[in-house]
Structure 1
């Protein structure tokens, strides 16, 4: 089965594994997904991720992060810009997720980055997802 929206598939896999309190989740690899996983790790939403070479597409194994009481660190994930309806934002109108407590992942001309970094660099782009 062909997946049209691979980013939504990645977010759904993370959301489902997080709800089921799994330690890790496997996601089919791509360069875009690696960059998103790197942002999630840098912002402290996941413990780590590792790219596993399976002689085909590759797999990203994401190790999920929980608090000491096994509460979820990621409480919400939402895909914003979809293949059927792209959402773009300039740096002045960049959305703040949960009044700055969450992050927006943005695809800009300077690469994939958070909304905070896009504001710092004064660039806009396609708003891929909200994470809080």
Structure 2
């Protein structure tokens, strides 16, 4: 049985956002940690911390909401690459999400990067997801 950890993590965040949860727990791997760190740097989540429950590592994410109506900061997540179909781009064809209102997360030779950071470094790679 194979589990797509990236899809599981992004789906947990999406579902928690839809029901306005404050905290969501995701599995901690190097890849999910890098993605969560980018979400924190870009302002989509307020904070995160590592926890250990019964010898399993997790990340607790504090989701971010705007105004008193609790509108989620993350309005959309779209998974691009899947285990059966990987999507790659070169440095000249980096995605532009909603006219730079959102970000694309890429797996590159320089690590996990946003589309803007990859453009500055001049690298391409596998497109993991779009977040806006």
Q: TM-score range by the shorter chain?
A: over 0.9
Superposed structure 1 runs of 4+ greater than 6 Å apart: none
Q: Look up the match of 2:6.
A: 7
Q: Look up the match of 2:28.
A: 29
Structure 2 unmatched ranges of 5 or more = none
Report the CA distance shift for 1:3/1:10 in structure 2 as closer, same or farther (over 3 A).
Answer: farther
Query: Aligned pair count?
Result: 131
Displacement of 1:53 in angstroms is: 2.0
Alpha-carbon separation, structure 2, partners of 1:85 and 1:94: 18
Q: Does 1:73 align with 2:73?
A: yes
Q: Look up the match of 1:40.
A: 39
Displacement of 1:99 in angstroms is: 1.1
Q: Does 1:95 align with 2:95?
A: yes
Structure 1 unmatched ranges of 5 or more = none
CA RMSD of aligned residues (A): 1.0
Alpha-carbon separation, structure 2, partners of 1:56 and 1:40: 26
Question: What does 1:50-65 correspond to in 2, within 5 Å?
Answer: 50-65=49-64
Q: Look up the match of 1:121.
A: 121
